[in-house]
Amino acid sequence: MIQVAFFDTKAYDRPSFERFGSEHGLAFRFLETKLNEDTVALAKGCSAVCVFVNDTVNASVIDKLYAYGVRLIALRSAGYNNVDVQAAFGKIHVVHVPAYSPYAVAEHAIALLLTNVRRIHKAYNRTREFNFSLNGLTGFDFHGKTVGVIGTGKIGRIFIDICRGFGMRVLAYDPYPAKDSGIEYVPLDELFALSDVISLHCPLTDGTRHLLNAAAIEKMKKGVVIVNTSRGGLIDTEALLEGIKARKIGAACLDVYEEEADIFFEDRSGHILNDELLARLISMPNVIVTSHQAFLTEEALNNIAETTVNNILSCFEKDGICDNELCYRCGRIEQCKKERMDKCF
C-alpha cells in the first residue's frame, strides 16, 4: 500500500480523496498543517506527499523529503509556483492536476465580475435590512464592451466563450497563442489600452510576477475592471490600491491575493487582520475578494482527487510515466512532457 502524506487538509478534501484512494489501495495520512521546513518531518514513512497551493516546497523541504524516502510530490492544483521544480529534478518527481474543472474557475470569474459591476452584493445587503433604494447601484452592460484576457489556456478560452455569449469583444495576449482558435491576439500594451475589463488566466512565473504593476495600470483605460482568479502574485497589490484610489481602476474582482498563504482557507473572523494591504482592499467599495474558492465545485473536487490518485499510481505502479509530470530536464516544465516518451529522470 502506498502511503501518502496529505498536507493542508480541508474538510472538503477528504470525501473524494478517501473514496478514490481506498478504491486503488492508497493510504492518505491527512494532516491539517501546511508543508514547510518545520512540518516536513511529518512525511517520514511516506512514499509521496500531496500538497496544495500554499504549501512551501522549496529546495530545503525537497532535500528533507528526499532524505526521508519521499519520491513523489503530487500537487492537487494546476499551479506549481510554490514548488522548486528545478531543485526536485533528479530526486523527486513532481506531478500536478492541469485541468480539474476549467469551467469552475471561468464561471467564478464571471460571477465575480457580474456581482461587482451590477452591485449585487450591495443590493443583497440592503434588501436584508429592508432598504430598497437603488441609489448607487448603477452598473454597465457587458454587451459591446471589450474584455482583455491574459492567458488562453483551457480556463482562459472558456472564459472567452462566456464573454462572447454576452456580446463582448475579446482581445487576448499569450506568449503561446492557441492555434486555429479564432481568438484576436494583440500585444500586451494594446490590450491594456483598449480593454474595459481585464481578466488574468495565466500561471505565476518569474516573467509574470507583478504583470499588472504601476506602469501597466498607467496604460489602461480609466475605469477598467480587473479580474484575477489565477495567482495573487500576478498583481502588485500596492499598485492596484493606488490605481483604485486614483480612480484609474473602476473595480477589482479578486479570488487570489499575493500574500494569501497565511490568511486564506481559515476562519479569521475573530482576529485582527494584520495584513494592512488586504484590509484596505476589502474596505474598498468597488473591490470584491473571495478566498481562493474559484475551483470549489463538486465536479472539480472529484476530478482533482481522481487525477491526483491516477498520477500517483502512474508513478509507482505502472511504467513510471505520468502525463502530468512537471519536468525540469529541458527547462520547459510543462511543454517537454508532450514530446518525451520516458521518465523525466
Question: Which single residue is written with the C-alpha cell 452584493?
Answer: 121
Contact yes or no for 4/312 (Cβ under 8 A): yes
- Joined together, the cell numbers standing for residue 317 give 505502479
- Joined together, the cell numbers standing for residue 86 give 528545478
Crossing angle of helices 298-316 and 14-23, in 10° steps, is 40
Q: Around 161, how many Cα atoms within 13 Å sit in the side-chain half-sphere? A: 11
The rounded Cα 161 to chain-centroid distance in angstroms is 20
- Closest C-alpha among 84, 42, 32 to residue 62: 84
In DSSP terms, which residues pair with 325 in a beta bridge?
95
Pairing of strands 325-326, 2-6: unpaired
The residues carrying an active-site annotation are 231, 260, 292
257 Cβ contact partners less than 8 Å away, ≥ 6 residues apart? 232, 237, 263, 264, 278, 281, 289
Q: Around 144, how many Cα atoms within 13 Å sit in the side-chain half-sphere? A: 2
